[in-house]
Structure formats: C-alpha cells, structure tokens
Chain A
Amino acid sequence: LAKTTQPISMDSYEGQEVNITCSHNNIATNDYITWYQQFPSQGPRFIIQGYKTKVTNEVASLFIPADRKSSTLSLPRVSLSDTAVYYCLVGDRNTDKLIFGTGTRLQVFP
C-alpha cells in the first residue's frame, strides 16, 4: 500500500493558525479527502472533507491542489482544546481501500 504521510507532531500557541499537510500521491481518482480529529481512547471525529480546491466550514479549511497529491488542513486560532491527533483519510488508487494518514499530534500551549 502507498504511504499516506503526515508530520509526526506540531506545536502551536493559543490563537495561532495551524496548517497540517498530508501527502497522498497515490490517491484514488474519485475519492474525497477527509480529515479527522482524535482524542485519546475516543473514535475519530469528522472535521472536514473536500475533493479539490478549497473547502471551508465553521471549524476548519481544507486546501487541495489541482493534482490532489496532497492536502492541507488549516485550523484558525487554535485553542487548548484543539490538542489532539489529526488524521487524513484517502482512498488508495491501487487497492481501492481507504487509508488513514500516519497522524499528526498537535500540542497547543497557552
């Protein structure tokens, strides 16, 4: 299976904007890109989903370049409660299976 990679960890301070990138160079043509937030011992929580260009909702923005081989989750003005692990989820072109990224542990400091 092709790897879907993310930075292992990121640190930020409250009020800052955080951008987390996922590299998925073997993404399936027809699948959307989805991002999740996960707290310890809980199920992943849906944040945002997109197919191309830019998508924005009340909590985040998602930027997807034309080749769709990467995506960037943008969290505006993070707070302490945003400390969590963030995963991207994409379909693999070869296996047609959904694959989670390696996950990014975000730590927000006061």
Chain B
Amino acid sequence: DAGVTQSPTHLIKTRGQHVTLRCSPISGHKSVSWYQQVLGQGPQFIFQYYEKEERGRGNFPDRFSARQFPNYSSELNVNALLLGDSALYLCASSYRRSEQYFGPGTRLTVT
C-alpha cells in the first residue's frame, strides 16, 4: 500500500510570494493534518481536516489556510511568505486521531 505522499519535495520561494503544498493520504484515511517543523524543533500542529471540514487549528496566522478535497487529498496554502516560514511541512493522515502516519515532507526555503 502507498503511504502518505507529498509534493513537491523541495521548494524555494521569495519573501511575499504564495505557496501551495499538496498531500495525498493513505487509502481509507479520511483525516489529514498539517504540521510545520522548523530545523531543530519538533513538529507544530497547523490544521486538521476530517471529511473536508476543519476540525482543528494551531496557533498560526491567517496567512496559513488549507482545504480537503472529496478524495481526501489536501492542500496547504501560505500567503505573503516570510523568512520564518522556512521549514519542513509535514502532512499526516489517520484513521484514528492519535495514530497518524506522516509523509516525507516538503522542504520550503524562503529567501
């Protein structure tokens, strides 16, 4: 079975630009969560979606938004990029809330 997939693998953007990250969950998983992991720190929760509805949001500004599609894939959008948004963005899918399976991540570098 395919695991969680994310695209792109790496991305370089300039301050002020917008970025869209994509995630496909494990087949049968209806929940997708997004995390930001800054170098040297643990993952920080951004969003959780279940059945296309937002079920949770972390302490991130409104520049961050996400959505989930009918096939349960998801997009994370970040507007007006700042240098501090440089991080590894992780997507996780789950059947049960606390049993999350993570994708390989998207490395975003903002210059």
The interface of chain A, by Cβ under 8 A from chain B, is 31-34, 36, 41-46, 49, 87, 89-91, 96-103
Q: Tell me the residues in window 8-54 of chain B with beta carbons closer than 8 Å to chain A beta carbons.
A: 33, 41-45, 48
B63 at the A interface (CB under 8 A): no
A49: nearest residue on chain B (CB-CB)?
B99
A105: nearest residue on chain B (CB-CB)?
B40
- Provide a sorted-by-A list of 28 A–B residue pairs whose CB atoms are within 8 angstroms: A31-B97, A31-B98, A32-B96, A32-B98, A34-B98, A34-B99, A36-B102, A41-B107, A43-B4, A43-B90, A43-B92, A44-B90, A44-B102, A45-B102, A46-B99, A46-B100, A49-B99, A89-B98, A90-B98, A91-B97, A91-B98, A96-B56, A97-B56, A97-B58, A98-B48, A98-B97, A99-B45, A103-B41
Q: Which residues of A contact B56 (CB under 8 A)?
A: 96-97
A87–B100 touching, CB < 8 Å: no
Chain B: residues with Cβ within 8 Å of the partner, total of: 24
A42 to B105, CA, bound (A): 7
B99–A43 touching, CB < 8 Å: no
A45 to B45, CA, bound (A): 16
Please give 6 more A-B residue pairs, beta carbons under 8 A apart, in addition to A32-B98, A98-B33, A103-B41: A31-B97, A36-B102, A43-B105, A91-B98, A97-B58, A99-B45
Q: Tell me the residues in window 64-111 of chain B with beta carbons closer than 8 Å to chain A beta carbons.
A: 88, 90, 92, 96-105, 107
